[in-house]
Amino acid sequence: MRWDRLFSDLEARFDEIADSEAIAEMADRQRVEAGAVGFAQRLAGSLGQPIRIRVAGGSAVGGVLRGVGPDWLLLSEGQGRDVLVAMCAVAIVEGLTAATALPMSGVALRLDLRHAVRGLARDRSPVAVLVAGGTVTGANGAAEPGSNPHGAEITGTIDRVGADFTEIAVHAAWEPRRAASVRSVVLVPLSAVMVIRALPLG
């Protein structure tokens, strides 16, 4: 009968409209959820995976993502060489998986870059620190190797970490930190630190 066909047609159209509304609502919900994902949360979804990072000034760092904090990330370049990267210095990240981690909470939120750098200071291992801008001079006033307009690389040992700065005893990467080998001590704001690379001694 005509009424049967009419109701069947109306039901089919209603189902189509309901399906399209559900699809649109799901897309809206996904956009809202994606809009709430932070940079650290997105990065943490790729823990254990190899990624490549370009920092401000053009330097590139690659390795397996080993850790993510609220304002830093840790990469392993292999052979025991770890690299700590300040998130504020990151310009581009390549190689992330599709996964996104849960938001950080509790203690993880408090383990910021300052705490990570303090851990390196306790270790007393030599490091290469890439800082934004400027040049580093030695005791004789000459520019240290690695200085360039995009950033300066300082090799030495982290002596002290304050509330918003670090002090680095500048010496050759292959030397242990001894008074005779220290060419100068530089003060660096933590906001200027881009990359800290652990160096093998000797």
pTM to 2 decimals? Answer: 0.74
* Domain definitions of the chain by residue range: 41-198
Tens of pLDDT, residue by residue over 87-135, are 999 999 999 998 888 887 777 778 899 999 998 888 888 999 999 875 5
| Mean pLDDT on 80-89 | 92
Which burial class, exposed, middle or buried, applies to 6 when counting CB atoms under 10 A from its CB (0-12, 13-18, 19+)?
Answer: exposed
Residue count of the chain: 202
What is the structure's pLDDT at 92?
95
* The pLDDT of residue 146: 47
Distance CA 67, CA 51 (A): 12
pLDDT tens string 18-57: 666 666 666 555 554 555 688 999 999 999 999 999 998 7
Distances (CA, A) of 180 to 51, 129, 137, 143, 190: 39, 21, 17, 19, 27
Are the C-beta atoms of 157 and 54 separated by less than 8 Å? no
Residue 33: closest CA among 21, 25, 22? 25
CATH number corresponding to 41-198: 2.30.30.100
Q: Give Cβ neighbours of residue 50 (< 8 Å, ≥ 6 apart).
A: 62, 63, 64, 65, 95
